[in-house]
Each structure stands twice: as C-alpha cells, then as structure tokens.
Amino acid sequence: MKLEKLKNKIKRTWKDAWFFDDYFEWHPKNSSIGGFLSAGKYFFIFPNPNKREGNINEKNWALDKFFKMLKNLKIRNAHLTDFTKIPLIKEKAREYWSDKKKFCLPEQFLKREIEILENEINIIKPLKIIIVGKSYKNYIQPIIKKITKNKIKIDLIYHYACREPNKWKKIENKLNEIIKEN
C-alpha cells in the first residue's frame, strides 16, 4: 500500500517515470522476481531506465538474461528500482551521470531522487541493497550510506547490459555470494 502511494506520487512528479513493473506487464514470465511494488529482503538499485528507440518495454535480451539469472538463484519478491525514474537515451544518461556538480552537492541537485530513495528504503527495510553497475558506486553508494546510516549492507554487481561473458559469470558469482551471506 505504501509503495503504491509512493509510485503514484512519483508518477505525478515525473510524467515519464518508468518502473520495472511496467516491463513485467509486457513480459509477465519474469514478474515473480519482484518489481517496484515488491518488498523482499533484496533491494536492487539501477542507475536509470534505459530508453531505446521505440517502446521502452520491448524485449531486452540483457534484462531478460539478468532476470533469468535471478530466477535461477531463486531470488523472489526483490525490490527493483532506478535512482532516477526517468528513461534516458545513452547520450542523456552519460550527461546525467557525468555532471560532477550534481553528485558533489546531492542535497541541492538531487533532492527529489534522494527523498524518493529514502522513502523506498524506509518502507521496505531491506536486508541488503545491491547497486547494479559498479561504475555508479561513487555516485549512489554515499547517498545510500547517508540514508541508511551505514546500517544496511551494500553490495555491488556489474550492470546487466555488459556484453562480456566473464562479467556475466562475475555477476552470478557475486549474487551467489550475497545469497549465501543470509
């Protein structure tokens, strides 16, 4: 109920907001893994929705492969969210994440994103937060540590869009390690 209210508030704030639940409406076979409205012990935070040409919910081989991996590892009811809820095309994503000023003064430039993330974490009270995309660690991790007061373990995995087979194996190994810690 609280997550549904938060989702509605986000949609009022950002008309183009996108959630993993939107993808699962188009591809229901992966919906048991979780989504924005799920409140399991794992909290996956991605940088931003990846906007491609055409429909953002078109089949995405990398995302499907990542979800299949989560399913095989028996991860269910995970909270899946993006730091910024607005879909960004590659160039805009690079521009967003390269703006150092934003991340040096996050309380000033990222107030809405931080407020929403804090609400999500406080509602769910996850056992673990997993940042998807190690290159975003320096941006997102300090914000999460401040929100959680270092009381929730934060892990990092490579982004699912990687094209190198050895990185997929590293993602799987790290997720196995995270699961075994519980």
The DSSP element (H or E) to which 130 belongs, if any, is strand 128-132
Neighbours of 32 (CB within 10 A): 16
Dist CA 145 CA 177 (whole Å): 21
Fold of 2-180: Uracil-DNA Glycosylase, subunit E (3.40.470)
Dist CA 33 CA 163 (whole Å): 22
- What pTM, to 2 d.p., does this model score? 0.87
Strands 42-46 and 128-132: parallel
DSSP annotation string for 134-154: GGGHHHHHHHHHHHHTT-SEE
* First and final C-alpha spacing in the chain: 27
CB-CB contact of 52 with 18 (8 Å): no
Q: Tens of pLDDT along the chain (182 residues)?
A: 899 999 999 999 888 888 888 877 777 777 778 889 999 999 999 988 765 545 555 566 778 888 889 999 999 899 999 988 877 776 677 777 677 666 666 666 788 889 999 999 999 999 999 999 877 888 889 999 999 999 999 999 988 887 777 888 999 999 999 999 87
> Taking the domains of the chain in order of start, what are their residue ranges?
2-180
Three-state secondary structure call for residue 155: strand
